Amino acid sequence: MQIEESHILELIKELEFLIQEASSVPFSTHKCSIERQDALDIISDIKRALPKELEQAVSVTEESKDIMNRAISEAHQMIEDAENKANEIIEDAKIEAEELRQDTEDAVNEYINSSKPVLEAEEKAHKIISNAKAVSEEIKVGTAEYADELLLEVEQHIVSILDEIRQNREEFK
């Protein structure tokens, strides 16, 4: 293995030397011209010299990427399932809470409506309302009578004034 590694390093140095010593392309400082076949031969030698473990390492790396991607996908699915389940539980809890609130409200209203003090208070309220209506009617009738009496007095007073005006007119004739 050590021999193959040193051989690979020598081949890489040879390729590096080939590139460094290559002539520059006219009008360019970053490009160079090398013999294609020389470079390809060195690359082929490097490939042959690479140990089988490197191929296995590449294979293991690709396989671990696949496993990782599957694990991430499964994790996302598990998270989504958990969120859906949590939302379901929350909705069920909301429904139960609303039912409990409604049952409690119904029970309280039933107790209030059936309790003796409430019934007595409602009866008293009905009596007060009846009395108020009766008093209101009496006041209304009394007010109408009083207004009628006042209007009668005013009418009599106006008639008296009118009679006086007629007498005064007769005297002028």
Q: What is the pLDDT of residues 54-95, one digit of tens each?
A: 777 788 889 889 899 898 988 889 988 888 888 888 998 899
The count of domains in the chain is 3
Could you tell me the two tokens for 23?
């002539």
Kindly state the average pLDDT of the residues 144-150: 86
Residue type at position 2: Q
In a shared domain, residues 95 and 131:
no
Q: 8 and 29 in one domain? A: yes
Please report whether residue 119 resides in a domain. no
pLDDT > 70 fraction of the chain, expressed in percent and rounded: 95
Please check whether residue 23 is in contact with residue 33, taking contact to mean a CB–CB distance below 8 angstroms: yes
How much is the pLDDT for 110? 81
- Within this chain, do residues 138 and 159 fall inside the same structural domain, yes or no? yes
Per-residue pLDDT reduced to its tens digit, 113-134: 777 777 788 888 889 888 888 8
Domain that holds residue 110: 63-114
Are 45 and 74 in a shared domain? no
Cβ 9 vs Cβ 50: under 8 Å:
no
Indicate whether 57 belongs to any domain: no
Q: How far apart are CA 67 and CA 119, in angstroms?
A: 75
- pTM score of the predicted model: 0.36
Q: Phi-psi category of 77—alpha, beta or left, where left has phi over 0 and alpha has psi -120 to 50?
A: alpha
**46 and 6 in a common domain:** yes
Per-residue pLDDT for 4 more than 60? no
Residues 16 and 35 in one domain: yes
Average pLDDT across the chain, whole number: 85
Residue type, 139: I
